[in-house]
Amino acid sequence: MPDGRSLELHESGDPDGFPIVFHHGTPGAGLVYPAWSTPGVRMIGYDRSGYGGSTRDPGRTIASVAPDMLALADALGLERFATWGISGGGPHALACAALCGDRVTAVASLAGVAPYPADGLDWLAGMGQDNVDEFALTLAGESASRPSAEQHRAEMLAATPAEVFAAFDSLLGDADRAVLTGELAAYLHDGMAHGLEHGVDGWVDDDLAFVQPWGFELAAIRCPVLVVQGGDDRFVPRAHGEWLAAHLPGSEAWIDDENGHLTLATTSIAKVHEWLLRHS
C-alpha cells in the first residue's frame, strides 16, 4: 500500500472475467466461497485492515476503505470494477461506490447495517442479544469492547465449524439455523479463523467505525445500487435494509421474509453477480 501497510487479497473465478470486489462481514476475512463462482466473473476478496494478513489502520472510518480499494485496483490493473458487501461489508461497499468515482460500475449491499444513528430507525431493535451487548460495549469505547472481542476470539478459534456459532445462539433465526451446516459452516469458520488469526484489531475497528460518522453521504452514490435483505435476520434486522433502500437514491431492493442473514451467502450471490454484470 502507498502508506506502507499490507493488504491481503484472495482471488477465484475467471481471471479474464469482469472484476467484482467482495467486502466480508464482521468478523471475517476475504476468502471466497467456492459456490460463488459465476461465469464471466473475476472474484476478488481482501482482508479488511486489521484482519488476516492486512495491516491495521488505527482510527479508520468506513470511508477509509475507498483509498485501499483504489490502491487494490491500481495494483491489479482494474480500470473499472463492481463491488458488493455482506453484513459488516455492506457499508464498505457503499463507501467505494460513493468515493471511488466512475471506477465503480455498480454496488450491492447484502444485509448491511445502516448508519448510526439513523433518523427514523431504532438501530438495535430486532437484533439478537449478542449484538445488542456487543454494540453497548462498542459505544463505551475500545477499552470496553476489546476484552469481550478477545474472549469471543478465543472461543471461536477453539471451536469446530459445528460449534462456532453456539455462542451466538440469540442471532440465529430458523432460516439461518437450517443452512449453518456442511460447506457453509466450514467456510464461515475458516473465514473467522483467518481473519482473527493475529488478533481482534479488525473486529474492534469495524465496530467502532459503524457507530461513528461514516465519512461520506449516501446521496453521493451515482452508480446503480442494489439492497438485499432477509426478513428473518437477527444480525442485521430487516428495518436496516428498508432504511437503506429508502435513503439510497434510485436503488433497487430485494427484501423478502424467507431469507435470514447467513442464508444470503447461499441463495443470493449468483443473482447479485448477474445483476452487477447487467448494470456494469
The reply to whether 1 falls in a domain is no
In the chain, % helix, strand, coil (3-state, to 5) comes to 45, 15, 40
pLDDT at site 162: 80
| 3 belongs to a structural domain | no
What is the edge-to-edge ordering of all strands in the sheet holding 104-110?
9-13, 41-46, 18-23, 81-86, 104-110, 225-230, 252-256
Tens digits of residue pLDDT in 9-61: 999 999 999 999 999 999 999 999 999 999 999 999 999 999 999 999 999 99
Residue 37: how many CA atoms within 13 Å on its side-chain side? 6
**Structural domain tally of the chain?**
1
How does residue 169 score in pLDDT terms, banded at 50, 70 and 90?
Answer: confident
102: number of Cβ within 10 Å: 9
Tell me the pTM. 0.97
DSSP codes, 165-205: TGGGGGG--HHHHHH-SHHHHHHHHHHHHHHTTT-SHHHHH
pLDDT in tens, 60-113: 999 999 999 999 999 999 999 999 999 999 999 999 999 999 999 999 999 999
**At 156, which amino acid appears?**
M
In 3D space, the residue among 40, 24, 99 whose CA is nearest the CA of residue 68 turns out to be 99
Residue 149 lies in a domain: yes
Mean pLDDT calculated for residue range 109-128: 97
Domain that holds residue 113: 9-278
4 is a domain residue: no
What is the average pLDDT score of the chain? Answer: 96
Give a yes or no: residue 2 inside a domain.
no
Residue 178 located in a structural domain: yes
Residue 180 located in a structural domain = yes
Residue 167 has pLDDT above 80, yes or no: no
Neighbours of 234 (CB within 10 A): 20
What's 121's DSSP letter?
B
Residue 196 belongs to domain with CATH number: 3.40.50.1820
Task: Please report which confidence band the pLDDT of residue 168 belongs to, taking 50, 70 and 90 as the band edges.
Answer: confident
Q: What is the pLDDT of residues 223-260, one digit of tens each?
A: 999 999 999 999 999 999 999 999 998 999 999 999 99
Whether 154 is in a domain gets the answer yes
